[in-house]
Homo-oligomer: A and B are copies of this chain.
């Protein structure tokens, strides 16, 4: 057997501790699969005095900088999270010839380009399966298995917290605040839930997925983002009336041009939307994640599993570690991210979507004609319209055909200005065939 490979770990919280446990427990298996043993060379932490079960204290150091450039380190695993010092440490590691594995979605979504460029420049591996959808093997299939295919669309539930909240609202008729409190009590949501419920977490993952699927640079700032804080019990009930369910979706789409299939750009967005209950994503319950991929030849694929948690994330890190270790041992780096397509990210207004709109309307003749006229004025065509309730309680439910989002949102503004519309009770985008 060849001499062993030495691994440095940056960060030793929930995920890091699990990584250490798996490295120890599965040492024999890992050695068999890599062809050489893996050994922990050091663990950089901020507070070495903290008790970490199963972690050899002699490996701990507070000098991460020194650790990542040490001559006896071959591979660096980063599970600190956040932008700095993670970015500097990973760049230093690659510059000193180490390959890097990271679970850092925020950094990849904000400044992946710098990291990918460094990987290319220094011939280092940069693997990051754990950054999206926890243990679900998703990036590797997109990056490698579907590499001979043409991905047209990625549609995913990539945030477990919001899926748990929306699932509770759907199941129990709970309102958003009530469901959030329950999620917090059960540990599914943090005390400050902003990153989850406002869609920041999902947007970072959408950027990473779009970049991989379309070989095009996309950052979190390019992602149109709407959270779930405004989703009401009425929205969820309206979805149920359509045999739909509300999910926070991350959507990455290739937008076709009229002549070439590479398209005129990509659309990357995160928002709550209705999808039909018959869609495979509709049955994703609780805090599970799932990502639906539409490829030209492969057709529709779905990947489902736990999207977060120490053990699932550590499992993804270990999968990457085996691949990287094999590459290092063999002297050949793995595939580097390529963004050769360089498609523009289209603004939300140009993205084609469908709306579900629920209106409280006055109880008088000609209401439907006036409403229909407002849609026509914006060139939005109506797929179905239905009156619910009578008299003072009368509501109109309208589902549109596909139209540019700008036209749809202008229509909603127009409706708000109509005298016969007492209130726009619910507006929600619709994905999938209803």
Contact = CB atoms under 8 A, between A and B. Distances in A.
A137 B301 contact: yes
Interface bracket on A: 35 or more
Contacts of A290: 302
B304 A316 contact: no
A327 to B, nearest CB: 8
A146 interface: yes
A145 interface: yes
A91 interface: no
A317 B149 CA distance: 10
B147 A33 contact: yes
Question: How many chain copies does the complex carry?
Answer: 2
Given A22-B148, A298-B135, A332 B335 contact: no
Q: Which of A311, A315, A320 has the most CB of B within 10 A?
A: A315
B148 A319 contact: yes
9 contacts: A18-B297, A32-B340, A33-B335, A135-B295, A147-B323, A296-B311, A298-B306, A302-B304, A332-B332
A32 B340 CA distance: 8
A304 to B, nearest CB: 4
Contacts of A319: 144-149
A299 interface: yes
Nearest to A335: B326
B335 A311 contact: no
Nearest to A333: B330
A294 B4 CA distance: 30
What 8 pairs across the A-B complex have the smallest Cβ distances? A148-B318, A135-B298, A137-B145, A137-B141, A297-B315, A301-B305, A302-B304, A145-B319
A429 interface: no
A305 B326 CA distance: 29
B137 A315 contact: no
Given A148-B315, A150-B26, A319-B148, A338 B135 contact: no
B332 A315 contact: no
